[in-house]
Amino acid sequence: MLTPFCVALQFLTRIPVAVSALEPRDVRRAALYFPVVGALIGLVLWAAHTLASALFPPLLARSCVLAAGVVLTGALHLDALCDTADGFFASRERQRILDVMRDPHVGAIGTVTVALTLLLKQAALVSLSPSSVGPVLIAGAIASRSILLAALFLPPARGNGFGFANAQHVSPAPLLSCTLGSMLAPLVLLGTPALPALLLAAIASGALLCMAYRRLGGMTGDVCGAAGELAETGFWIGASCIPWSGSALGAGAG
């Protein structure tokens, strides 16, 4: 049971994990552990917030949480968002979009998209009450990694790469069960305030996935990662915009 989890941990974070003798079934089952890894990421970020809050003023402490997330994940989803933005804004022609997304060079649109995303995430974090930060970090990390599972229902846009590999090895039934089950975790952590946050996360990521299906005929690894990043950003914004989040989310933290 540990091997698929380690594969997922290796894929979604920069935590050093040695995985040997990898088999096809491990790749198939690893995706099902994405929300579990998300929960772990959220816990680490909560710990980073607790430590930073003891040392720094609120704005700097929340910025440290954002930086910790980038370091912990190796900016994996931010990089995917950058490539996806460059590709979709470069052309409306399918092959051109795919070529730009694979180009290692970073374009201006991608850079601006990542910068704006980080600014929005920082503003959302700063808007949360101290007691709500931890539950929101965990719930948002789980929800966004669950979106990665939902993206796997799309057909692969290429005949190789992340999307193709997972289309070959991920079974629909456990994938659907895991996706729906994981979406319940934010409701358990936050209660009803999780609903608007989940809705905004679904709108942000769903819009990208629909665009990818319409213009590419499916998803790629970059599209999948970008959808996860947009989902987390949307979740944080949704949680921060709830007028009564201070008391309700604080109760969830207790």
Least confident of 107-111, 151-155, 184-188: 151-155
205 in any annotated domain: yes
- pLDDT number for residue 103: 87
What is the C-alpha separation between 181 and 142, in angstroms, rounded? Answer: 11
186 in any annotated domain: yes
Q: Is the pLDDT confidence value at 2 over 90? A: no
Least confident of 54-58, 165-169, 171-175: 165-169
What is the C-alpha separation between 219 and 250, in angstroms, rounded? Answer: 37
Question: Three-class SS of residue 13?
Answer: coil
What is the C-alpha separation between 249 and 135, in angstroms, rounded? Answer: 7
Question: Three-class SS of residue 56?
Answer: coil
Q: Which domain holds residue 140?
A: 35-253
Over residues 94-140, the pLDDT tens digits come to 999 999 999 888 899 999 999 999 999 999 999 998 888 999 999 99
Over residues 3-48, the pLDDT tens digits come to 788 888 988 999 888 766 556 566 667 888 999 999 999 999 999 9
5 in any annotated domain: no
CB 104 within 8 A of CB 195: no
Number of domains in the chain: 1
52 in any annotated domain: yes
Q: Which residues share a beta bridge with 104? A: none
Q: Is the pLDDT confidence value at 165 over 70? A: no
Q: Is the pLDDT confidence value at 249 over 60? A: no
81 in any annotated domain: yes
25 in any annotated domain: no
CB 19 within 8 A of CB 10: yes
Q: What percent of the chain has pLDDT over 70?
A: 85
Over residues 209-220, the pLDDT tens digits come to 999 999 999 889
